[in-house]
Amino acid sequence: MQAAEALLVLVAFALAAPVTAGADPGAERERELVALVRQDCGSCHGMTLKGGLGPALTPEALRDKPADSLTLTILNGRPGTAMPPWRPFVSEAEAAWIVEQLQRGLRDGAH
Amino acid sequence: MGRTERTLIASAALVLCGCASLGAQGTDDLGVVIERATGSVQVVDQAKRASLARIEGLGDLSHAAIVYSRDARYAYVFGRDGGLSKIDIAARKTVARTVQAGNSIGGAISKDGRLVAVANYEPGGVKIFDAATLELLSEIPSTYGTAGKRAKVVGIADAPGGKFVFSLFEADEIWVADVADPRHPVVRKFGNVGREPYDALITPDGRYYIAGLFGEDGLALLDMQNLDAGPRRILEGYGRGGERLPVYKMPHLRGWAIAGDYAFLPAIGKHAVLVVNRHSWKEVAEIPVQGQPVFVMARPDGRQVWVNFAYPRNSVVQVIDVAALKLVESLEPGKTVLHMEFTARGDEVWISARDSNRVVVYDTSDFRKLAELPAQSPSGIFFTWRARRIGL
């Protein structure tokens, strides 16, 4: 059990390793990503991200969750639930950037 | 014409209609378009293909639905944030509004038009309101199991015999609430209907309540004329199958098309529309389409079925010919098509293109574009013919 957990953590690190927090996708892509989160993630999590059929994605709801595992959830989905993998549409760096924005509180438009 | 005469005519008009915007027009040619990002709706005129008014201040409409009063004068708007608003579409104004829950998915109106029921995620349950005043009459908490948890309520519909029927997502249950005494609803519960019912519909004749299951393949069917038989499973192979394909937007079941002997269903996760015999509930065909279907809607005469799609292939609408069971047209009304609504007799269809900020009207006989109406992030389009349909 412990070994399995350790392995998971390792895998998580291996996958997340090249991701530097705060990597900047560029202003135009950032706008696209914010729209993607609000509109398309929003179809389950709510456009205001307060939750729907999927859980809330507000800073309060995500505060205690490790960013790496959230990034992996975006990329790979969550098997056994409705959460699909978004890897076909966002890069690892972009997923990490989304998590950072969500934990901080998503702002619209470019900053 | 002299000034006195004109004044006289103006006065007469005022006496006749009471209010300028009411005019002599009935509401049968009107409708409502949701503007999801701004918490507003537009009242539209189907014949003029024009917007008549915008009504604002309706809260979070990022997921919103509408039912109509029997006389099709009032639209009840169910917002994501638990807001329930009653709009007078003839006078173009909000006449009552309450924020009745924290997170809400939709609602239904009783056959007699006296009760409005709202399905809530948070706190989970159903609330019953007086349709005239929006006074809260009763609440049905969706408490299940032994730990006192409340499930998210989905797929609420009005059912014959003075009932509302709805599903409990986490509880795997379907409940039928008899609201003959709306202050004291009597609830009949059906358990183990299948894992995670996530949306449902009632067939246009009010006979069958069908819930989609997210947690497993198949659908749960409840015969409203034989509740004692309980829910049974149909279309066991329906769903994502062994592959468990990812789904980028949950299909909406209420749009399911019944045309002739067939029901047309969105395949879950697959780029296909399933054709099912609606008597045997066996699959008869699978029609390949260009993306994951969200709404699969029949033109009222049943000759065509129109389909829109999930992210990322959501800027295309495709049309299936029912007799040939194949695609006959692909249209690009704009970016991110969210909804389609036919006129009552199906000669025209209105389509909302969210990211192009417009609603596009097509002639369904030759697919000619007839009009474009500007709208802010439009989503659902609801015409007043819904006032006279079971389950809408």
| CB-based contact B214 A82, cutoff 8 Å | yes
ipTM: 0.72
Token output for B179 = 């609201």
Considering Cα of B329, then B335, then B339, then B343, what sign does the dihedral take? negative
Q: Identify which of B358, B174, B342 has the alpha carbon closest to the alpha carbon of residue B350.
A: B342
Rounded mean pLDDT for each run of 10 residues along chain B, 392 residues in total? 49 45 78 95 97 96 94 96 96 96 93 96 96 98 95 95 96 98 98 93 91 88 96 81 74 78 88 91 93 94 95 96 96 97 97 97 98 97 95 86
The DSSP secondary structure of A49-74, one letter per residue, reads SS-SSSPP-SHHHHTTS-HHHHHHHH
Candidates A34, A36, A45, A47: best to mutate against B (most CBs of B within 10 A) is: A47
Instruction: List, in sequence order, the alpha helices (H) in B256-300.
Output: none
Helices (H) and strands (E) in chain A, counts: 6, 0
Residue B21's pLDDT is 53
- The pLDDT tens digits for A44-67 are 898 889 888 889 999 999 999 999
Identify the structural domains of chain A with CATH numbers, from first to last: 25-104 (1.10.760.10)
Distance CA(B383)–CA(B147), nearest Å, equals: 43
Predicted confidence at residue B129, as pLDDT, reads 98
Q: Which two tokens stand for residue B325?
A: 């069971």
Which residues from chain B sit within 8 angstroms of residue A89, using beta carbons? 311-312
Which tens digit of pLDDT belongs to each residue from A67-79? 999 999 999 999 8
Whether A42 sits inside 8 A of B37 (CB atoms) is: no
Tokens at B219, concatenated: 């659908």
Please report, in angstroms and rounded to a whole number, the separation of the first and last CA atoms in chain B: 49
Q: Check whether A16 has a pLDDT greater than 50.
A: no
Nearest CA of chain B to the CA of A110: how many Å? 18
Interface size A-B, in CB pairs within 8 Å, comes to 57
Please say if the pLDDT value at position A20 is more than 60. Answer: no
- The yes-or-no verdict on residue A9 having pLDDT over 80 is no
Residue A61, judged by CB atoms within 10 A of its CB (0-12, 13-18, 19+), counts as: middle
The predicted pLDDT at position A23 comes to: 61
**Left, alpha or beta for A84 (phi > 0: left; psi -120 to 50: alpha)?**
beta
Q: Is the CB of residue B167 less than 8 Å from the CB of residue B173? A: yes
Q: How far apart are CA B346 and CA B300, in angstroms?
A: 5
